[in-house]
Amino acid sequence: MQFLTGCYVRSIGSSPTLGEQLKDLKTAQVTGAITNAEYQAQKARLLKAKTFGEVLGEVDAKKNLVH
């Protein structure tokens, strides 16, 4: 099953990419759903969470799902 989120289609069950999360966050800020301070805090949290090791771990986890 797929659903439309913004201007792209994503399958249910798939995790949004960092880029998708950042776009959604920016949209929330531009539309006034969150303040600029909230945007900056959440953006920093997302970028900090995506360290090189975590990215590799996600790739390894996806490989294990295929096998």
- Any domain includes 55: yes
Whether 29 maps to a domain, the answer reads yes
Q: What is the mean pLDDT of residues 18-44?
A: 96
What is the tally of structural domains in the chain?
Answer: 1
What's the domain range around 31?
Answer: 16-66
Nearest by Cα to 54 from 4, 7, 28, 18: 18
Is the per-residue pLDDT at 1 higher than 50? Answer: no
**What's the half-sphere exposure (Cβ side, CA atoms, 13 Å) at 24?**
12
State the pLDDT at residue 9.
Answer: 57
The one-character DSSP state at 14 is P
In this prediction, residue 12 carries a pLDDT of 65
Place 38 in a pLDDT band, splitting at 50, 70 and 90: very high
Q: What is the mean pLDDT of residues 10-32?
A: 88
* Residue 43 falls inside a structural domain: yes
In a domain, 8, yes or no: no
Predicted model pTM: 0.56
